[in-house]
C-alpha cells in the first residue's frame, strides 16, 4: 500500500516539512502535488514499498510522512524524495528544501517568510514578537503537527534563536 491518506497514517509516522519560498499559484501547487503523488505511489526502500502520504497547507507547506512500522525509509529513499523536490525547485524557480527562511503569520493573517537575519532584525525592532505565530518546519513526527506546527514564537525554537540575546 504505497500512498495513503495523510490522516490514515499513525501519529508516530515520520514527518518531513518542506516550505516554499513563496506562495504557490494553483497551477504550481497542482504540478507539485502531482509530482509528489507519483513519487509516493512508487516510493520504496531497498525494494520494500513505503506507506507514505502528503498534505498541502497554506499554499506553502508540503508535509510528507511515512509509516515506519510497515517499512522504514532508507537514506536512499529519503534522498529520492529530496531529489524530486529539487527538480521541482529548478523547474519553477521556487525554494522548497533549504529551510533557510523563517515562516510566520503576520498581523493580517498571511503567511510570510523572511531570511533568518531579517527576522532577527524584525525581532530586535519589535516588528515581530514572542506572540507572533511561527511555523516549526523542524518537526519529525506527525503527532507534533497538532501542537507544534503553528505556535507563538515563545513556544518554539524561535524564542531561543531570536529573543534570548535581546533580554
pLDDT, one tens digit per residue, over 87-100 is: 999 999 999 998 88
pLDDT, one tens digit per residue, over 120-154 is: 999 999 999 999 999 999 999 999 999 999 999 99
Cα 163 vs. chain centroid, distance in angstroms? 23
d(CA 80, CA 39): 9
Q: Which residue has the higher pLDDT, 165 or 127?
A: 127
Q: What is the mean pLDDT of residues 155-161?
A: 92
- Confidence band, pLDDT 50/70/90 cuts, at residue 166: low
Q: Is the pLDDT of residue 1 over 60?
A: no
Q: Give residue limits of the domains in the chain.
A: 6-92, 101-135+150-166
| In contact, 89 and 32? CB cutoff 8 Å | no
d(CA 124, CA 107): 17
Q: Which residues contact 47 (CB under 8 A, 6 or more apart)?
A: none
pLDDT, one tens digit per residue, over 20-79 is: 999 999 999 999 999 999 999 999 999 999 999 999 999 999 999 999 998 899 999 999
Q: Which residues contact 83 (CB under 8 A, 6 or more apart)?
A: none
Amino acid at each position: 500500500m504505497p500512498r495513503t491518506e495523510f490522516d490514515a497514517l499513525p501519529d508516530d509516522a515520520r514527518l518531513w516539512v518542506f516550505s516554499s519560498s513563496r506562495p504557490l499559484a494553483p497551477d504550481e501547487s497542482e504540478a507539485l502535488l502531482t509530482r509528489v503523488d507519483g513519487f509516493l505511489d512508487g516510493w520504496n526502500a531497498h525494494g520494500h514499498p513505503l506507506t507514505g502520504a502528503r498534505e498541502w497547507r497554506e499554499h506553502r507547506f508540503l508535509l510528507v510522512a511515512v509509516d515506519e512500522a510497515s517499512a522504514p525509509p532508507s537514506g536512499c529513499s529519503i534522498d529520492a524524495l529530496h531529489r524530486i523536490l529539487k527538480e521541482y525547485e529548478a523547474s519553477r524557480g521556487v525554494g522548497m528544501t533549504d529551510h533557510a527562511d523563517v515562516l510566520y503569520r503576520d498581523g493580517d493573517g498571511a503567511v510570510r517568510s523572511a531570511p533568518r537575519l531579517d527576522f532577527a532584525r524584525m525581532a530586535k525592532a519589535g516588528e515581530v514578537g514572542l506572540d507572533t505565530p511561527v511555523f516549526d518546519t523542524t518537526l519529525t513526527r506527525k503527532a507534533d503537527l497538532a501542537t507544534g506546527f503553528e505556535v507563538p514564537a515563545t513556544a518554539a525554537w524561535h524564542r531561543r534563536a531570536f529573543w534570548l540575546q535581546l533580554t
